[in-house]
Amino acid sequence: MPAALLALAIGAFGIGTTEFVIMGLLPEVATDFGVSIPSAGLLISGYALGVVVGAPLLTAIGSKVSRKTVLIALMGVFIAGNLLSAVAPSYGVLMTGRIVAALSHGAFFGVGSVVAASLVPKAKQASAIALMFTGLTIANVLGVPGGTALGQHFGWRSTFWAVTALGVIGLLGIVFLVPRQGSAEGTGLRSELAVFKSLQVWLALAMTALGFAGVFASFTYIAPMMTEVAGFSAGAVTWLLVLFGGGLVVGNLLGGKAADRSLMPSLYLILTLLATVLVVFVFTAHAKIPSAVTIALFGAAGFATVAPLQKRVMDKAQGAPALASAANIAAFNLGNAVGAYLGGLTIEHGLGYTAPNWVGAALAVAGLVVALLSGLLDRRTSDAPALVEPGHRMEGLLR
């Protein structure tokens, strides 16, 4: 794999760290600014909103600029947002810094996925995408626990200074390692938007939103599930999350390799495994060792979907994949928000802390149904190529 992928992975590591590390620093931030924990928790929601808005917006703005230039600019936005967070004199300024940093998130992973795929032969593109996303998974294993510990010992601002430094390293890596190729020039915003006329692109986005909604319906409530149901101490949750993160790393790499061999069958299998693991989790959550094993399997199955889903939307947006790829990152975050909300409803209605697993399984099955429909349409169009002439894909599929 090219060294340029290392630069992309470093950028992904920094972005993944800043996204999730705030969860472990909420008490310190709340105390420093004199706000409640729920108010501090809005820093997470603000970041997610920034991702959803920034992914298509910044990708569209950079549609006529070389992708390397776009990546450099996005890392600049990321650095600026985290620097603003580190020096924030008030809660409002910190929220602004979080949103600024988030604006770069979706566009970076969207454009970065296209660049990563362009660096390798077609048979290795999903693995290349997975390698870039490895930075995000390792952030959950090392960056988030390390950043939390740093912030607890030296103040929460030190964490954002460290993430700013990671952004500078990622920026330098992109400048010196990523070749000036894979330019968006020649496509333009009109071409990028035109891919959304394809039903298959929308089905790919729906697969992403539903699949990751299934992951976050359960993962959002993993801490109370482990302490209130499995009987772990609060201090053990950190190590359980490290175990989950290890599963993310393994699943991400295996999912990329599987997708390179056979994309849609891999998605069918992975979404089925995800739904199965979540159903099993309902029962294993009542004992420590079985629940710990299931958490690792859950992480592996959940993140094994990422590279195949990203590759699927890029395949269906051939010729102008950057905006669709960024929209897919927004779909991931939309799924996170919807899954967390639906999982929380079951708890609010007194169904218990294991009930979100049922919701997650149902959402994963819904994603599988969409995937099967998309695969069926693939077979139909391969049997009737005249129906999918360029520019008439939607009309052909709906006949």
What confidence category does residue 183 fall into, taking pLDDT thresholds of 50, 70 and 90? very low
More confident: 282 or 131: 282
344-351 average pLDDT score:
85
Which of the residue ranges 19-23, 250-254, 260-264 would you say has the lowest mean pLDDT?
19-23
d(CA 283, CA 364): 18
pLDDT-based confidence at residue 387 (cuts at 50, 70, 90): very low
Phi, psi of 132, deg, nearest 5? -65, -45
Taking residues 62-87, report their average pLDDT. Answer: 90
Summarised one tens digit per residue, pLDDT across range 5-23 is 888 999 989 998 888 788 7
Alpha-carbon gap, residue 146 to 152, rounded angstroms: 10
pLDDT tier, 385 (very low <50, low <70, confident <90, very high otherwise): very low
Q: Sorting pLDDT into bands at 50, 70 and 90, what band is 188?
A: low
What pLDDT does residue 38 have?
67
Percent of the chain with pLDDT over 90: 30
Q: By the 8 A CB rule, do 200 and 393 touch?
A: yes
Contacts within 8 Å (CB) and 24+ apart, 91-98: 91/29, 91/33, 91/35, 91/39, 91/40, 94/29, 94/33, 94/43, 95/42, 95/43, 95/46, 97/160, 98/22, 98/43, 98/46, 98/47, 98/50
Q: What is the mean pLDDT of residues 268-280?
A: 95
- Which residues, other chains included, contact 236 with Cβ-Cβ below 8 Å and sequence gap of 6+? 226
pLDDT at 397: 43
pLDDT of residue 158: 94
Confidence of residue 157 (pLDDT cuts 50, 70, 90): very high
pLDDT at 386 over 60: no
Is 306's pLDDT higher than 80? Answer: yes
Q: Which fold has domain 1-182?
A: Growth Hormone; Chain: A; (1.20.1250)
Tell me what percent of the residues of the chain surpass a pLDDT of 70.
Answer: 91
Single-letter amino acid code for the residue at 383: D
- Rank 109-113, 132-136, 201-205, 224-228 by mean pLDDT and report only the highest: 201-205
Domains 1-182 and 187-399 agree in fold: yes
Mean pLDDT computed over 63-71: 84
Q: Is it true that domain 187-399 has CATH number 1.20.1250.20?
A: yes
Domain limits of the chain? 1-182, 187-399
User: Does position 388 have pLDDT exceeding 60, yes or no?
Assistant: no
Residue 315 and residue 203 in contact, taking contact as beta carbons nearer than 8 Å: no
Q: Which residue has the higher pLDDT, 89 or 26?
A: 89
Mean pLDDT of 276-288: 95
Q: What pTM was computed for the model? A: 0.76
pLDDT greater than 50 at residue 395? no
Per-residue pLDDT band for 319 (boundaries 50, 70, 90) equals low
Q: Tell me, what's the pLDDT at 181?
A: 57
The answer on pLDDT for 222 being more than 60 is yes
Q: How many CB atoms lie within 10 A of CB 384?
A: 12
Is the predicted pLDDT of residue 392 greater than 60, yes or no? no
pLDDT number for residue 391:
44
Whole-number pLDDT of residue 389: 43
